[in-house]
Structure formats: structure tokens, C-alpha cells
Amino acid sequence: MTINYREHIPTWKEIREILVADIILILAFDLTIIGGISSLREYYPTFIYFLPITAVGVTLSFVLHELMHKFVAQRFGAMAAFMRSSTGSIITILSALFGFLIGIPGATVIYSNSFTRREQGYVSLAGPLTNFMVFLVFLAIGVLLYPNFLNNVLDTFGNYASLGYIQNMINFTLFISLLLAFFNMLPIPPLDGSKILAWNKPVFLAVILVIFILFVSIMPLFSFISMMAIWLVIAFLFSMFYRTIGL
């Protein structure tokens, strides 16, 4: 996700901010998997089991997504850096404590007074395309290593003990990378999808179609529709939050 904002952020601060945001999301995803803080005592071994798995999946899917926004924006001459939101970080943590996730710890902030709509579209598209690349790499690894791989992806979230550790890591990264691409492609400001739709409707529709095809290859259609409804609600809350704080 990208947000237009004018502020010079030192490199050391940006590294700190994205590391803290990454850690917050890792812990939040891990807590969500076990059902929140109330389940931690009972499912503490599961929490520990998934900690390296969420670290790999979240870091590759979230951090690379945000960095690609930054690099492409800078390529077009803009100021760009990741900025963590203190309020968003608190919301992320609190939601995970209750067993669901509203992951809004921060975003890449961009300032440019000369962006064309096409350049803004390229910058916004860079994040979801990065998630696609992560998905495809882990999909290829999974298909090469495991028979009937696509039929077992969701087992990581309901029956992880039936799978090996590496397969659970591949499954989690595969799913989270696609989930973040889907969330960011929703056409709700300030998400990437709103800017891509304003720039090029065929490109927007093509990316949405690819996400749909990839999702139904790893999960039932009804489950995807249910998940989409939930994330639409989260996206609206996300949009209202960033409008409230003036970004």
C-alpha cells in the first residue's frame, strides 16, 4: 500500500520502523492462528511452532511489498520511505489479541508533485506484483517437493500436524502473499487497487482475475467469497482510519 505524505524519513529510522512493523505483524498473525491471547496458554506450543513460519511468510510478503513501492516511486523521482503508524500498530495488536486480524501497522509514504496517473499506477502495482512473485516461487517449490500440494494448502490452518514443517512454511507463505495482494487490490482508498483502477481499468481487472484464479486453485469458492466479504469490511475500516488521521 502507498500513501501520499510529505516528510523526510532518515534511513536508520525507516529501517527501525519497518522492522518493528514486521515484528508486530508476525506476532499478530501468530496470535490469530491460535485464536487470540485467551488461547495462548492452551496452544502455546502451536504459537512457538508457527513463529518461524509466520516470520518467513510475513517478512517476504509484507516487507518486500512495501520496499517495492519505495523503489519504484524513487525510480520516478519521488520521495518515498516506509512509515509505521503507532495507532495502526496498536489496532493490529489489539485485534490479534481477540483472535482476528486488522493488519495496519504502517505503509510506504510517498511525496511527489509531478506524478502522472500512469506513474502512480506503476508504483501501486509494484506491491501486488511482488506478492505474485513470492506466491509463484513458493508454489513452484511446493509442487516440486510435495505430491497433491495444492490440495493441502489450507491444512496448515486447520490440520498442520498432518504436514511437515517445511510444507507448512510453504503453505503459509503462499497463502499470506496472495492474501496481501488481494487486500491491497481492493478498490478502496488508500489501497493500491484504487490507484490502479483510476489509472487503467483493464490492468485492474486482469490482476483481480489472476488473484481469483489463484485463490480458487487452493481453496473452495465459498471459502474465498466468505473471506472476501470479511476483508472488504476490514478494508473499509482501514480506509476510514487513514482518512481520520489525515493521510
- The residues that are catalytic are 66
CB 150 within 8 A of CB 219: no
Q: What is the DSSP letter of 60?
A: I
CB 178 within 8 A of CB 207: no
CA 40, distance to chain mean position in Å, is 24
SS3 content of the chain, % helix, strand, coil (to 5): 75, 5, 20
CA 219, distance to chain mean position in Å, is 18
Residue 215: CB atoms within 10 Å? 21
CB 214 within 8 A of CB 178: yes
Query: 54-69: buried (b, 16+ CB within 10 Å) or exposed (e) per residue?
Result: bbbbbbbbbbbbbbbb
